[in-house]
Amino acid sequence: MQPEPKVLKHELSSRLFHWGLILGFLPAALTGIIIWLKPGSESFVNLAMQIHIIGAIILTGSSLLYAVFALDRVVVFIKHSFSFDKNDLDWFIVMMLRGGYIKKIVFRKEVEIPPMGKVNSGQKMFSILLLFGGSFLMFSGWILWAFIPFAPKIIIYWLNMGHLLFAIALTMFLCVHIFLGVYFRDEFKAMFTDGTQSLKVAKEHAPVWVDREVIQVKKTAD
């Protein structure tokens, strides 16, 4: 039996950046909740703050490295995230308003989904939030860490409030992202192994992307 043709979905730079997000954002989010709710002793919260800073360093460092060394991927990410058409509206109606995800995941029913590009409409929302929210979290976080005694209280108050609200929103989206990422095993494998996915699966999940943006580089063995 011939092996199925594969498409490179996530380049090495994107997979490494994704690891940066995992190692940076996850500990920062968990310790952020501890710093916010203070469930333990003062030394426990202080330890959480130290881990929070380490997470922030990894997050900021990996974002800067990705922006410098994989600028073309950042451009593609922004292009994919901000391209909307009628299919996106239909996607929201089918998946969110008419309970498409619940039918698909809970009741295991086939749901007819409008054709999507590399990222679907829900992922676009997450990407936009990640772009603006993530940038704000990093900016406000470093100001809060270094400049509280020097900055006007009103500025610090709103930076702190924005930091908290964006962090809550991103953490909630992250929970959904992790669940769906693990649920759709092909997507999980593509991101955590060699970045490839079978062309058949890619056509099923992202037909617009395969039609418009994917090109053949090697002859398939047929």
Q: By CB under 8 A, is residue 219 in contact with other proteins?
A: yes
At which residue do the structure tokens 């039609």 appear?
211
Query: CB under 8 A: which stretch of 17-25, 49-57, 106-114, 209-217 binds other proteins?
Result: 209-217
Q: Select from 185, 217, 212, 216 the least CA-distant residue to 201.
A: 185
* Residue 102 touching other proteins (CB under 8 A): no
User: Could you give the string, one character per residue 151-190, with x where binding to other proteins holds by CB under 8 A and - elsewhere?
Assistant: xxx-xxx--x------------------------------
Is 48 among the residues that bind other proteins (CB under 8 A)? Answer: no
Q: Does 37 bind other proteins (CB under 8 A)?
A: no
Task: Return contacts of 129-137, CB within 8 angstroms, 24+ apart.
Answer: 129/166, 129/169, 129/170, 129/173, 130/170, 130/173, 131/77, 131/78, 131/81, 133/166, 133/169, 133/170, 134/25, 134/59, 134/63, 134/170, 136/162, 136/163, 136/166, 137/163, 137/166, 137/167, 137/170
Q: Please choose, out of 43-51, 53-61, 123-131, 212-220, the segment that lies near other proteins by the rule CB under 8 A.
A: 212-220
Q: Would you tell me which residues interact with other proteins (CB under 8 A)?
A: 5-9, 71-72, 75-76, 79, 118, 139, 143, 147-153, 155-157, 160, 194-196, 199, 209-210, 213-220
